[in-house]
A and B are shown apart, each in its own frame.
Chain A
Amino acid sequence: MNDRTDDELDRLLAALPLEEPPAELRTSILAATVQRVPAEPIDPWEAGAWGLLLAFAAWFIPHFSDLNGIIATIDRVAFALAQPTTLIWLTVGGAAAFAASAIPDFSPRIHLARKGR
């Protein structure tokens, strides 16, 4: 019947039931949205510690055979750190960082998604 009127067709369309979604669809949508646990930000000190460790490993591994050289370098670094000028600059840097952290709404964060969370 090609002479079906527009109203008849509209009534047929209006009476057409919606498709039934799979039972687990809603659960998986909610799990991927509101129930998803957000990735926790890594603390700055943690990121800094990993950076130091990696930097040390990158420097240490190529010089592994030269143990005397490493000891001498550590001696030099320790000596430099013990100098009054170095200590003054470290104190100034630490005080500046502390002062900056006291400014309201100044809280830099490193947001890195952790695998498996």
Chain B
Amino acid sequence: MAVEVHIEVEQPRTSDAELVARTLAGDPAGFTLLVERYERSLYTLAVRTMRDREEARDATQEAFVKAYRSLHTFRPDAKFSTWIFSICYHSCCDRLKRSRRYSGEEIPDRADAAPGPEAQAIANDDAGRLRAAIESLPEKYRSVITLYHLQGKQYDEIASVLGVPLGTVKTHLFRAKEQLRQILAASEKQP
């Protein structure tokens, strides 16, 4: 009796550097895969930084277009995620500056005003509560905590994306977590 054995071999994930090289060689599938891979992360970074989904959508698209046009400047030894997060973050900052919501002044080291009724309505579960808490943080803490969420404990990569020293990242992350704890504690006490 013949027995068929199916062994599924997981395809190794193509590295970002390979996809960049394929794109530069004229294969559009390379960049398409990069878009699929980073679309959600970039959109998340943009939404959390800008707190406006329409603007975030445009900033995400702008980041991919900028990355595509300057792909030849990407160094193969660099990390693609850090590079494209940096492009996206700076696109968001430019848009915030243009819309005059970003004054360029030092943002006070405290959370923004209490979340509005819409934010309170969606904060009815853990994820919603955490999302609302992140949204109520000042801009510099929102960005650092979002990158910590997206990139993990790679503080030097976060510092590269934000263009700030490593110590600043650690300080901002510490304060962001402190404020998150306070906001979450306050929201859990509410009926």
Interface of A with B (CB < 8 Å)? 1-4, 6, 9, 12-22, 25-26, 28-30, 32-35
Q: Is the CB of A21 within 8 A of B68?
A: no
Q: Closest CB of chain B to A36's CB: distance in Å?
A: 9
Q: Is the CB of B177 within 8 A of A34?
A: no
Give the contacting residue for B44; candidates A14, A19, A26; CB below 8 A.
A19
* Known interface pairs A1-B184, A26-B36, A29-B65; A13-B31 also in contact (CB < 8 Å): no
Q: Which of B7-15, B56-64, B91-99, B160-168 contacts A (4 or more CB under 8 A)?
A: B56-64
- Return the CB mask of B31-55 against A: 1 if under 8 Å, else 0: 1100110011101100110000100
Q: Is the CB of A1 within 8 A of B61?
A: no
Q: Closest CB of chain A to B62's CB: distance in Å?
A: 9
Q: Is the CB of A4 within 8 A of B181?
A: yes
Nearest chain-A residue to B126 (Cβ)?
Answer: A12
Q: Is the CB of B43 within 8 A of A16?
A: no
Query: CA of A114 to CA of B188 in the docked complex: distance in angstroms?
Result: 60
B185 proximity list for chain A (CB < 8 A): 1-2, 4
Q: Closest CB of chain A to B51's CB: distance in Å?
A: 11
Given contacts A15-B127, A25-B57, A32-B61, 15 further A-B contacts (CB under 8 A): A2-B182, A2-B185, A4-B185, A12-B126, A13-B148, A16-B130, A16-B149, A18-B41, A19-B56, A21-B39, A26-B36, A29-B39, A33-B35, A33-B65, A34-B68
B39 proximity list for chain A (CB < 8 A): 21, 25-26, 29
